């Protein structure tokens, strides 16, 4: 039997892509689309088993409280969570121990895998650097994903007791060696026409390993959300990060 | 204290690179170099704790019997092992249960990781293909490594219950879609100047993930052999494949 | 003063992107949008100096006759031209010698440059192969662009008197070495999420050169059409192929 | 008939690769190998028609004077040339107008083509950046080749009257956007195992073009030197840069 899914924020750019994505899966049934002026009771009326929430920081907590208390599992891509909020969600989950809640900053499955593999590979290589490529309208450099990836690499190297990376550079044009994120050099390219792309590069004797992630469009989060919907009921309590669901 | 290492086949192309590589590591001490006309007792005389064997199918079994019976751990890159040989090694190990033996077809750590990551990633993507690039003197196409990678992907897809990959091709020039290895399309490029390179490409909605492996020279197996030497004593019995040592 | 542009086929998928693209350029002014039920005289009424035609084989010739006879330059991306049609266009141009007509099968400037550079580079390398990557809904393999690129490489090699490429392959899985297009091996990958991508790879002693073209979206032809509009008046008579306008 | 070639600096790392490379070509005949203690008259005695000079700044001018005065064409990869030295060579050539002299800072044909194509492509794209990858023992960042490539792109953009590249970056980690070379952002990666690699990336609406150059070994200059030897007699006078011989 299909899983009954409700989407909160169903008319937003992301939410509407989720609505469409859910509609394409045979094992998922869309039973409710909630937007700003709709009542959350539509979810219970429709018998939703899982909700997907891509809304805003100021409404997401109310949504979660309602759903958890009504035994509805939650897959959440809304931003703005901090420790205090996580603790609140954990408290609600404690009172409803059968409910699963997945909160993830990134649902693009290729980006999540890149981060996981980068952390796994880090200890086997002398060198590691990251190059990211985005459209030129992006406001920050490097991307948050890449900073996180670099920190994961740095942490794995520390845990493995690796030395600093070899680098004999004596004369460098300012900026040419990139930004230093915990000892990992990170470079950001801005290029008209590109969307979002990332190379995590590792090198050791006579070889390199590159993990390349390409996003070509704006709905790359959909497969990750679908993975979340399918697995959230089997993961009671709060889970932060889609990687926990990937079984790696 | 440094691990005492003996190299069998020390004057061969591979063996001499191992000798050099061992010499560069502070936690390893080279105590014996054995080649064709040397006695294996040099290993016991020198107090070797681990041997590395890159020799030939017709002598490797004698080497292993001697070492295992003398309590020396073995890291083996020699080819030609089949089930019968593995069983023989297991029998010797049973009599000497503290001894570890690692036999691996591929010690290039980036290639081994590529295979492991490919298997892990496979179930999350609709499409997967492999492109390998080698120098034009290579006799077989595609490479054995790539066939193995493709089989791993196919197996992971089957286990996850994935459908066949989408492919609407109606008109194709013969060969343009590559070779079919268990449903995974595999392409082999032959290019003067190149050494050995591999792209494992996965795609799903609006995104792709590429795991790229580059070998630039002939000593890319050295870091993997060193990893083997460091870990073989902690892995008693027979282990086939370097991936088992990587803790992934 | 801005160039006055009319778009024929203005409501089609391609035509509407041209309309939008022309609107973004300060030196171009959109003066007429013609679709199925509109009269071509709107073009003359509006004083169009250049038209862009992305229509269908069965109406394009009438459009061209009207425009050329009225002194309007033409930039044409419609398909279905053969020698007979080119001769007819040349005949009309002969009667109106000041009019320029550009007919091009491909307006994606990065794809056109890839083809030009591939032809230029070919004679300096021992090996050359092409790998193309497309979404899995594509019906033909390899793409027409890639076949053309391969033929250009083969022709340049013949003109330079190069030998056949080195290839020692003795054992090959069927299809693994790709399709043979005039001696150039061509490989086609089909991958969910991808759009249209091409690697033209050249190799010689200890080095390779790769020309990579990526299309990320469906309006990659717009910059080429704009280049066509700006230059067509300076190129009287029939020109086939955007490359002739690039001054390379 | 084969061209008679002398190599000066024949025992140096580069010179000995040239000796070997010349030996592999059927249309070239090695007639003299000169090193430190040898007399240049060996060249005239052996009837050398072309010399290759990979020596040092302090001896190259004497070598050139001798060869030019004796009617021997010169292919020169030695460094340290400035305007004064070029003028001196031109003066010798004026007295011996049939002699050709090629002085080039870079004989790796793929690197030279990358620079030429980058300059040709520059004016058709909104964005352009360069990423280079080298082994970690390199002392300078970015490489001289890449700085030159970036300057060529900047010059081509200026000549075409292009605006500054789009870049909305507001918050950037220091160095993340690379070094600014005449407005072109340049990034340098240092990676154990790598040799010398370069990506020149161009982007415009919905597309990008990447020219990638890979050096896998230390003899990548040989094909360019051979091209020089074959063409120098047909190019009397001083030529600076191998690109002039490529007929592009």
Do residues D217 and C206 lie in contact, with contact meaning Cβ atoms separated by under 8 Å? yes
Q: C208–B193: do the CB atoms touch at under 8 Å?
A: yes
Q: Catalytic pick from B4, B94, B123, B138?
A: B138
Nearest CA among D157, D149, D146, D142 for reference residue D115: D149
Residues whose CB falls within 8 Å of the CB of residue A163, separated by 6 or more in sequence, listed in order: none
Do residues D132 and D191 lie in contact, with contact meaning Cβ atoms separated by under 8 Å? no
Using CB atoms, list chains with 3+ pairs below 8 Å to chain B. Answer: A, C, D
Is the Cα dihedral A54, A58, A59, A60 positive or negative?
positive
- CA distance, residue A182 to nearest chain B CA (Å): 23
Q: Catalytic pick from D4, D73, D94, D134?
A: D134
Name every chain D residue with its beta carbon within 8 A of the beta carbon of C110: 202, 204, 207-209
Q: Which 8-state DSSP code applies to residue B164?
A: P
Q: A175–D179: do the CB atoms touch at under 8 Å?
A: yes
Nearest CA among B134, B188, B128 for reference residue B162: B128
Candidates C141, C179, C194; nearest CB to B208? C194
Name every chain A residue with its beta carbon within 8 A of the beta carbon of C193: 214, 216-217, 220
Residue B115 and residue B145: Cα distance in Å, rounded? Answer: 8
- CA distance, residue C240 to nearest chain B CA (Å): 26
Per-residue CA distances from A134 to A67, A141, B83 (Å): 36, 9, 51
Do residues D148 and A178 lie in contact, with contact meaning Cβ atoms separated by under 8 Å? no
Q: Which 8-state DSSP code applies to residue C199?
A: E
Q: What is the pLDDT, as a whole number, of residue C1?
A: 80
**pLDDT digits over B28-80, tens only?**
999 999 999 899 999 999 999 999 999 999 999 999 999 999 999 999 999 99
Q: Closest-CA residue in chain D for B195?
A: D216
Residue B34 and residue A132: Cα distance in Å, rounded? Answer: 48
- Selected for mutation to probe chain C from A133, A216, A218, A224 (highest C CB count within 10 Å) is A216
Backbone angles phi, psi at D202, to 5 degrees: -120, 140
Share of chain B above pLDDT 70, in %: 100
State the count of interchain CB pairs (< 8 A) between A and B.
Answer: 116
Nearest CA among B179, B193, B98 for reference residue B143: B179
Nearest CA among A188, A208, B51, A93 for reference residue D133: A208
Q: What is the pLDDT, as a whole number, of residue C61?
A: 97
Q: What is the pLDDT, as a whole number, of residue A55?
A: 95
State the count of interchain CB pairs (< 8 A) between B and C.
Answer: 184
Relative orientation angle of helices C83-95 and C57-69, to the nearest 10 degrees: 10
The β-bridge relationship of strands D73-76 and D100-103 is parallel
pLDDT at D76 exceeding the cut of 90: yes
Q: Closest-CA residue in chain A for C192?
A: A216
Q: What is the pLDDT, as a whole number, of residue D165?
A: 98
- CA distance, residue A28 to nearest chain B CA (Å): 16
Q: What is the pLDDT, as a whole number, of residue B133?
A: 98
Rounded to the nearest 5 degrees, what angle is found at the Cα of B184, between the Cα atoms of B178 and B186? Answer: 35
- CA distance, residue B220 to nearest chain D CA (Å): 9
**pLDDT digits over A186-233, tens only?**
999 999 999 999 999 999 999 999 999 999 998 999 999 999 999 999
Q: Give CA D203 to chain center in angstroms.
A: 26
Q: C131–B172: do the CB atoms touch at under 8 Å?
A: no
Is the Cα dihedral B177, B181, B184, B190 positive or negative?
negative
Q: A216–C216: do the CB atoms touch at under 8 Å?
A: yes
Nearest CA among C197, C230, A179 for reference residue D179: A179
pLDDT at B24 exceeding the cut of 90: yes
**What is the per-residue burial (b if ≥16 Cβ within 10 Å, else e) of C142-172?**
bbebbbbbbbbbbebbeeeebeebebebeeb
pLDDT at A1 exceeding the cut of 90: no
Burial of B124 (0-12, 13-18, 19+ CB in 10 A): buried
pTM, rounded to two decimals: 0.94
Q: Give CA D11 to chain center in angstroms.
A: 21
Name every chain C residue with its beta carbon within 8 A of the beta carbon of B185: 189-190
Residue D16 and residue D30: Cα distance in Å, rounded? Answer: 12
Per-residue CA distances from A123 to A120, A128, A154, A222, B248 (Å): 7, 10, 9, 32, 11
Half-sphere exposure of C72 (CA within 13 A, CB side): 31
Residue C244 annotated as catalytic: no
Q: Closest-CA residue in chain A for C222?
A: A193
Structure tokens at B76: 């083996």
Do residues D190 and D134 lie in contact, with contact meaning Cβ atoms separated by under 8 Å? yes
pLDDT at A248 exceeding the cut of 90: no
Residue B17 and residue B77: Cα distance in Å, rounded? Answer: 13
Q: A127–D188: do the CB atoms touch at under 8 Å?
A: no
Right CATH number for C3-107+219-246 from 3.40.190.100, 3.40.50.720, 3.40.190.10, 3.40.50.1980?
3.40.50.720
Which residues in chain C land under pLDDT 70? none
Residue C62 and residue C64: Cα distance in Å, rounded? Answer: 5
Residue D2 and residue C11: Cα distance in Å, rounded? Answer: 64
- CA distance, residue B74 to nearest chain A CA (Å): 21
Where are the domains positioned within chain B?
A: 3-107+219-246, 109-216
Q: C220–D209: do the CB atoms touch at under 8 Å?
A: no
Tracing tokens 């993997």 back to the chain, one arrives at B224
Burial of A85 (0-12, 13-18, 19+ CB in 10 A): middle
- Known binding residues of B for NADP(+): 36
Backbone angles phi, psi at A243, to 5 degrees: -55, -30
Nearest CA among C102, C117, C68 for reference residue C224: C102
Q: Residue B220 pairs with which residues in a beta bridge?
A: none
- Dihedral in degrees, nearest 10, Cα atoms A114, A117, A119, A124: -130
The pLDDT confidence band at residue B119, using thresholds 50, 70 and 90, is very high
Q: What is the pLDDT, as a whole number, of residue A66?
A: 98
- Selected for mutation to probe chain A from C193, C199, C215, C221 (highest A CB count within 10 Å) is C193
Beta strands in chain A (DSSP E): 3-8, 28-34, 50-53, 73-76, 100-103, 127-134, 140-141, 171-172, 179-181, 184-190, 196-204, 207-215, 237-240
Tracing tokens 């407005």 back to the chain, one arrives at D183
Question: Is B115 in a helix, a strand, or coil?
Answer: helix
β-sheet with A196-204: strand ranges across:
A179-181, A184-190, A127-134, A196-204, A207-215, B207-215, B196-204, B127-134, B184-190, B179-181
CATH of domain D109-216: 3.30.360.10
Q: Residue D76 pairs with which residues in a beta bridge?
A: D53, D103
Residue B87 and residue B77: Cα distance in Å, rounded? Answer: 17
Q: What is the pLDDT, as a whole number, of residue C218?
A: 85
Name every chain C residue with its beta carbon within 8 A of the beta carbon of B133: 201
Q: B190–C177: do the CB atoms touch at under 8 Å?
A: yes
Q: C136–B187: do the CB atoms touch at under 8 Å?
A: no
Per-residue CA distances from A121 to A176, A211, D212 (Å): 25, 10, 25
Q: B213–A218: do the CB atoms touch at under 8 Å?
A: no
Residue D132 and residue D146: Cα distance in Å, rounded? Answer: 7
Question: Is D171 in a helix, a strand, or coil?
Answer: strand
Residue D62 and residue C84: Cα distance in Å, rounded? Answer: 65
Q: B166–C136: do the CB atoms touch at under 8 Å?
A: yes
Q: What is the pLDDT, as a whole number, of residue C247?
A: 85
- Selected for mutation to probe chain A from D145, D171, D190 (highest A CB count within 10 Å) is D190
Residue A138 annotated as catalytic: yes
Using CB atoms, list chains with 3+ pairs below 8 Å to chain C. Answer: A, B, D
Q: Closest-CA residue in chain A for D142?
A: A176
ipTM for the predicted complex: 0.92
Q: How high does pLDDT run on average in chain A? A: 96
Q: What is the pLDDT, as a whole number, of residue A43?
A: 98
Candidates D114, D209, D216; nearest CB to C113? D209
Residue D44 and residue D66: Cα distance in Å, rounded? Answer: 10
Mean pLDDT of D4-18: 96
Relative orientation angle of helices D83-95 and D57-69, to the nearest 10 degrees: 20
Mean pLDDT of B100-115: 96
The β-bridge relationship of strands A184-190 and A179-181 is antiparallel
Q: Closest-CA residue in chain A for B202?
A: A110
User: How many other CB atoms are there within 10 angstroms of residue C138's CB atom?
Assistant: 18
Mean pLDDT of A156-174: 97
- CA distance, residue D239 to nearest chain A CA (Å): 30
Residue B45 and residue B34: Cα distance in Å, rounded? Answer: 12
H helices of chain B, in order, are 13-23, 41-45, 57-69, 83-95, 109-121, 144-159, 222-231
Q: B227–A124: do the CB atoms touch at under 8 Å?
A: yes
Tracing tokens 């992907």 back to the chain, one arrives at B153
Half-sphere exposure of B10 (CA within 13 A, CB side): 21
Residue D145 and residue D200: Cα distance in Å, rounded? Answer: 12
To which H or E segment does residue C223 belong? helix C222-231
Q: A124–B117: do the CB atoms touch at under 8 Å?
A: no
Residue C109 and residue C132: Cα distance in Å, rounded? Answer: 17
Q: What is the pLDDT, as a whole number, of residue C29?
A: 97
- Known binding residues of C for (S)-2,3,4,5-tetrahydrodipicolinate: 135, 144-145
């Amino acid at each position: 039997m299909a899983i009954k899914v409700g989407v909160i924020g169903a008319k937003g750019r992301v939410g509407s892509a989720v609505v469409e994505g859910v509609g394409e899966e045979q094992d998922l049934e869309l039973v409710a689309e909630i937007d700003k002026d709709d009542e959350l009771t539509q979810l219970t009326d429709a018998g939703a088993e899982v909700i997907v929430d891509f809304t805003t920081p100021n409404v997401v907590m109310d949504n979660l409280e309602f759903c958890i208390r009504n035994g509805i599992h939650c897959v959440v891509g809304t931003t703005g969570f901090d420790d205090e909020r996580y603790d609140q969600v954990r408290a609600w989950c404690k009172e409803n121990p059968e409910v699963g809640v997945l909160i993830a900053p990134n649902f693009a499955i290729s980006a999540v895998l890149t981060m996981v593999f980068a952390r796994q590979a880090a200890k086997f290589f002398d060198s590691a650097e990251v190059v990211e490529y985005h459209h030129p309208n992006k406001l920050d450099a490097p991307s948050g994903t890449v900073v996180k990836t670099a920190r994961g690499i740095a942490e794995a190297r520390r845990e493995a007791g690796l030395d600093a990376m070899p680098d004999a550079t004596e004369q460098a044009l300012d900026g040419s060696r990139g930004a230093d994120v915990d000892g990992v050099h990170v470079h950001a390219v801005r290029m008209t026409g590109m969307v979002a792309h990332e190379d995590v590069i590792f090198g050791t004797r006579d070889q390199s390993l590159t993990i390349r992630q390409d996003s070509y469009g704006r709905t790359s989060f959909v497969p990750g959300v679908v993975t979340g919907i399918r697995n959230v009921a089997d993961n009671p309590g709060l889970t932060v990060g889609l990687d926990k669901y990937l079984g790696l």
